[in-house]
Structure 1
């Protein structure tokens, strides 16, 4: 292990990174609040400003993955489609198997210049997280409670609001609804058997209702669906803490561009189309496990320097007053003040690590402590009676 790699694993480096991210995030949240009076006057300008502010925060995570960890994504895609990435609105369907799949998705967005305007469907609980959750509110993310009768109106309205969005955006959908675990996969395949659907080996059954509603409401605004399949070489199991420790991973991303007009408008036909898509994704994943690569040509999109410049800029800006404060504290000789400062920095680190923990996969005991909980998971996959129209 080299000196640089050793330093990346030290708590002091993690403390600096967490401090910079958290404090800059709070400042960005404050600036976003200042855009509120602008919304009724010039909504599109307010949106553009929030895109830039959102990029300033999310690109720090991209810089952490690309420059700190050294992780480089290899992209497998058709060269003809490659020319269109970043120049059109799209719905991105990405498998949800890894702890850092969202980071890889952000890197993909950044390489094609749509990171600041990227959207996603996220659970309501994430909106309460400081920094990221609050930033997403101003970026018009779609938050849901996973209760269709309550979510439908908000979901549709949020999608309609994107029809006049001033920037090119990608709308991310994890159609499986939750991250893959063996326990969830077992339940999902029991449902597949009950519904006479082909079983999937590497994915959960997709939830078709949200996908159909998104496609219907974004027709005429979105040009295509990007079907993305992510995997990591050598059976790597990447984690956010691993990225923070400077561990280098080797992700491969297979992207297919599917024109939106080729997707059926009828709900039942769209549902069947999505199930077929996931069967194809499952085969790509199986082939990857056997061959170590996806089909088609591969390319590494050029790395943009802006994420690194932004990250270094925030770090220098925020470390300078902190260093001055520490010098003054040492010169003052006040033990109480020094301890208070150390406690504050440690609290910031703990807070950021807690936010990281919110993305981690729950253990088997957390998810399935009783048969009742397992039954509740099963109900989530089963179709509700027709008069409720729940997927």
Structure 2
């Protein structure tokens, strides 16, 4: 192992990265809170400021993938569509098979300059999580409780609020609703059989209502749907902890641009269209497992330096108070004070690990199990 690899695996490095992320996040959350006074007078200025503030936080995670772990991200797409990415509003449909699929989605956004303004349909519980959840609240992220009878009105209102958004944005959505596991897949395919739908091998059945409402609410605002299918070479099973340890992965992302006018407006027809889309995604995934490539032209989009520059900026600002406190404690000679400081740093690290844990497959929600079982009753 080289020196860089050794340092990336060290707990103290992870501790410092966690400190910078938490410190930046809490400062950004506080600044976002202060920007609320702008909203009544200039809503669009508030939004532009919060896009930049959100970038300060989310780009740190992208920095880990791009610059810390040096993960390769290859995009497969049509060249005529490539020139449009980042220059229009879009709904991005992502598969949900890996622990870092959301991070690769953010990486996709970052490569085309829309990370700060990117949106997601997120579960309500995440809105209470410090740093990321609070950042999303000020960024007007659409939250749902995963109970459609309660969510419909809230989701529609949240989407309609984005119709006059001043920045190009991508709305990222996992139509499967929960991360793929063998158990959830088995139950999902039982539902497919009961409903007379073609079975999928590599995906769960998509939840059509949220997608249909998203398309209806953002029609004439969003130009296209980007159907995105992610995979990793050599049967890699990437994890966020692996990224934090500097492990390099090799991601392949296939993106199809589908003009929004090709998607039916009727809810039932839109649902049928989405089921067909997932059958096609399944076929692309199956072909990838056989050949190791996706259709289209393979493009390695250049890494933008801004995520790294942003991290260096915040690390420089936050290093001074950290090392000043540490120096004062060492000079004081109080072992108790040093112990308290060490415990606080460990708590910071554990806090980041807990946030990482929210995304881990083994700790994923039972949503797919519970909801699919209810549909079979």
TM-score range, shorter chain: over 0.9
Who is 2:372 aligned against? 378
313-322 or 191-200: bigger deviation: 313-322
Structure 1 pair 268–131 and aligned structure 2 pair: CA distance change class (3 A): same
Who is 1:388 aligned against? none
SS at match of 2:362: coil
CA distance in 2, matches of 1:45, 1:72: 36
CA distance in 1, matches of 2:21, 2:47: 22
CA distance in 2, matches of 1:75, 1:19: 32
Who is 2:216 aligned against? 216
- How many residue pairs end up in the alignment? 377
Who is 1:191 aligned against? 191
What do residues 251-278 of structure 1 show as CA deviations (whole Å, max 9, x unaligned)? Answer: 0000000000010111111111110000
Structure 1 pair 348–188 and aligned structure 2 pair: CA distance change class (3 A): same
SS at match of 2:91: strand
Who is 1:44 aligned against? 44
Who is 2:149 aligned against? 149
Who is 1:24 aligned against? 24
Check conservation: 2:32, 2:138, Cα contact below 8 A: yes
Check conservation: 1:224, 1:259, Cα contact below 8 A: yes
Check conservation: 2:90, 2:225, Cα contact below 8 A: yes
1:174-323 mapped onto 2 (5 Å cutoff): 174-323=174-323
Who is 1:165 aligned against? 165
CA distance in 1, matches of 2:168, 2:112: 10
CA distance in 2, matches of 1:307, 1:363: 29
Structure 1 pair 363–58 and aligned structure 2 pair: CA distance change class (3 A): closer
CA distance in 1, matches of 2:375, 2:240: 29
SS at match of 2:253: strand
What do residues 331-390 of structure 1 show as CA deviations (whole Å, max 9, x unaligned)? Answer: 1111121111111111101111111011111369x959xxxx95x3424555x9xxxxxx
Check conservation: 1:187, 1:377, Cα contact below 8 A: no
SS at match of 2:18: helix
List 4+ stretches of structure 1 deviating above 4 A: none
SS at match of 2:255: strand
CA distance in 1, matches of 2:156, 2:356: 30
Who is 1:80 aligned against? 80
SS at match of 1:38: coil
Gaps of 5+ in 2: none
Who is 1:125 aligned against? 125
CA distance in 2, matches of 1:51, 1:278: 31
Who is 2:5 aligned against? 5
TM-score scaled by length of structure 2 = 0.98
CA distance in 2, matches of 1:106, 1:367: 25
Gaps of 5+ in 1: 385-391
1:100-111 mapped onto 2 (5 Å cutoff): 100-111=100-111
Aligned-pair distance for 1:323? 0.9
Aligned-pair distance for 1:320? 1.6
CA distance in 1, matches of 2:225, 2:304: 24
